[in-house]
Structure 1
Amino acid sequence: WNLLDTALVILSVTDAILTGINAGTVSNVTVARVLRFVRLIRVIRVVRAVRAFHNLRIIVFAMFEAMSSLIWCLLVVGIIIYVFAILFLYGVTEHFAGSPSMDEDLKAELLDFYGTVPKAIVTLFMTISGGVDWKDAMSPLLQIHWSYQPMFTFYIFLMVIGVLNVVMGAFVAATADMVAKDKEAMVKAELNQLQVYTQKIRAFFQDADRDRSGMLSWGEFEEHLQVPTVAAYFRTLQLDVSQAHALFKLLDKDGSNEVSLDEFLAGCMRLKGQAKSLEVNMLLYENRRLFARVSDFIDAMAVKLPQVDSRQQEHDRSCSRRRTRTTSSKALQPPAAPSPVPPAVQPP
């Protein structure tokens, strides 16, 4: 758009200069025509309003995007038309050479439709574009020989059923590619898809919440999924119902055996569809981090364990020495005198 604005400014300046020159000295018709053409180009300013209309912008940009495809389609169509034009013109020329005294009306029709190569090309193009009925263009050839009828019919079939449909498909593909590349269209489509999906989830939650408590219990969820149509509808939300209890446990983040609408929406948005590449790679990343931490712990333990083992052995030896010294000291001490036994008390 900046380039477009720059071009418009340049054209406006050129228009002002030419207007001044024309008003002062120039009276040449050619210069006046150039001036009028420059003024006509200022209509390009209307294109600036295109960005305010999304669909119009898509159409305009798709036309520019399809220009390269249009050139190749024009080349293919031109080659096919040229080949058939030469073929029909050769037949007409041979007929003129072999029948000098032919009907004047037939001769006029043949010269009008196939008198020269450009005329033959224009005639064949008009037969496939609606400029002339192809039966009228085939009638003078049919009077020359019957074989031109299947030949002309094959040409119409090839161009209308085959080539033109391919050309139309190329333009449709270019438009679709342009829409896919348009950031605003992508954002708008994603927001619309998200809104529709959210509405479906809300409708499912409200239907399953029988007591209208705003909380969905496992019993309500399981009972609601027993209906085949409901289960099929839940599958359309890209959610697997083959293991409904595990799915409900994943939705119930706080373990209350009940799911609120916000939990249900957030869980369904997170669990819909298959595992995405980002999710799988995040899981692999977390596994690699966990493996690295476990490996570091094992390496640290491999360093610490010999130290602990040596300290344990040293502690055992120290305890053994203390027990040995205690035993030796007890053996060197004299035996203690026996304590006197009190006399027995005689009964009276």
Structure 2
Amino acid sequence: VRAVRVFRILRFVRELRLMVASVICSLPSLMWACIFLFFVLFLFSMFIISDVSNHIQSQGTVDSALNDFYGSLGGSMVSLFMAITGGHDWRDILKPLQEINYYFYTLFFLFYVSFTVFGVMNVLTAIFVESASRISEIDRDLVIQEQISATSSSVDALKKVFRDADVDNTNLLNKKQFEAHLKDSDVRAYLRFLELDVFEARGLFQMLDTQDKGVVDIDDFVVGMMRLKGAARGYDLAWLMQDMTKNSVRLDAFMKFVEDQFKELVKDEVGRLEHREVQMKSLQDYIRHFEITSKTSQKRLSHLGVQATHGSRSSISTVKKALKRLGTSRLNRDSGSAASQSGWASFTSSVPTDW
């Protein structure tokens, strides 16, 4: 239970949690480092054991120090490991081997210590550092906290920079104050430090000033500047694509509405034209029938006397006046249509002039 409480405390101590997370993250690399070091010790021990065995067979006697350090393969590996980790002074480990061959084993041991300490151990240390730096793979909460802390500090710093230009303490930034503040070299340098561009700041000011009043809210301006920081993120691109999709759908709906309305207008206009064409056709048929009837009547009246002709002319004049009144009323109903006027003109021209 106490151990569990200790781990709970780690959540609130950032530095301690960072160290524990780094150790846990480097455990896989530590395992492979131990395996690699084991093979190095094994190869050097095999060579030493082979030479020590030949020396013992040729001499017939075994030195106690040689037997202690190199009496077996495991003992030899432990001795070599102590020589590079400080478990035992490597000069004492070297002395039994110098009795076999002084110069050879002196150079051999110097090579072994240099290779393992300056080569293998430094490489393993670099691997541990690289593994410990990838904490995000094991402790995402810590990375999130660091990102939130960095973002919060940047937002606070930006607010402080632009609130210094707000001399009225209204939390509003007008264009004159904004331009004057951007001319300050310290402000420009600080914006560059935050990876923000002065020209983008001016463009954002104009974008947020939707009512052309020359005034923007400082909080809104800082949030916009943080969104402009760095390259476009996935969220910004997704939001832009979603907004474009919505606008495209609205535009398609509007175009369909306009098309339907246009079709209705065209349909109504075509219906009116067809109706007028039918009226004009019936009027033309009526005119033809009247012409035929008038010609027949004129032939019959030609066989009668002049008086009858004069009386017929009076009757026909009466008919002509009535037809003109009929045509005038029809033209008024058609609101002065050009087609109706042309039809009535053809009708009046068909009436004989001698009536």
* Coarse TM-score class (shorter-chain normalised): 0.5 to 0.7
Q: Which letter does structure 2 place at the counterpart of 1:256?
A: K
- CA deviation digits over 1:61-102, x for unaligned, max 9? 65555544433322211111111111122233333444558x
39, 61, 81: which one pairs with 1:79? Answer: 39
Aligned partners of 1:303 and 1:213: how far apart in 2? 51
Work out whether 1:327 is the aligned partner of 2:345.
Answer: yes
The answer to whether the 8 Å contact 1:222/1:244 transfers is: no
The answer to whether the 8 Å contact 1:250/1:267 transfers is: no
Structure 2 CA distance for partners of 1:304 and 1:257, relative to 1, 3 Å: closer
Once the two structures are TM-superposed, the CA of residue 209 in structure 1 deviates from its matched residue by 4.1
Structure 2 CA distance for partners of 1:282 and 1:133, relative to 1, 3 Å: same
Aligned partners of 1:178 and 1:304: how far apart in 2? 63
The answer to whether the 8 Å contact 2:204/2:225 transfers is: no
Once the two structures are TM-superposed, the CA of residue 157 in structure 1 deviates from its matched residue by 3.1
Which residue pairs with 1:156 in the alignment?
A: 113
The answer to whether the 8 Å contact 1:209/1:220 transfers is: yes
- CA deviation digits over 1:233-272, x for unaligned, max 9? 1022232224442132235455332334323322223322
Aligned partners of 2:184 and 2:98: how far apart in 1? 68
Aligned partners of 2:2 and 2:185: how far apart in 1? 59
Equivalent position SS for 1:259 = strand
- CA deviation digits over 1:295-321, x for unaligned, max 9? 444455556545533433443462454
- CA deviation digits over 1:46-70, x for unaligned, max 9? 2343112225556556555554443
The within-5 A match list for 1:1-348 is 45-54=2-11, 55=13, 56=16, 59=19, 63=23, 66-99=26-59, 107-143=63-99, 144-178=101-135, 180-209=137-166, 214-252=171-209, 254-299=211-256, 301=258, 305=262, 307-316=264-273, 318=276, 319-327=337-345
Structure 2 CA distance for partners of 1:45 and 1:138, relative to 1, 3 Å: same
Aligned partners of 1:186 and 1:278: how far apart in 2? 19
Aligned partners of 1:330 and 1:257: how far apart in 2? 72
Which residue pairs with 1:14 in the alignment?
A: none
Aligned partners of 1:141 and 1:210: how far apart in 2? 83
Which deviates more from structure 2 when the two are superposed, residues 154-163 or residues 126-135? 154-163
Aligned partners of 1:142 and 1:217: how far apart in 2? 86
Larger radius of gyration: 2
The answer to whether the 8 Å contact 1:89/1:117 transfers is: yes
Equivalent position SS for 1:327 = helix
- CA deviation digits over 1:120-162, x for unaligned, max 9? 1111111222212334333443452423334333332333333
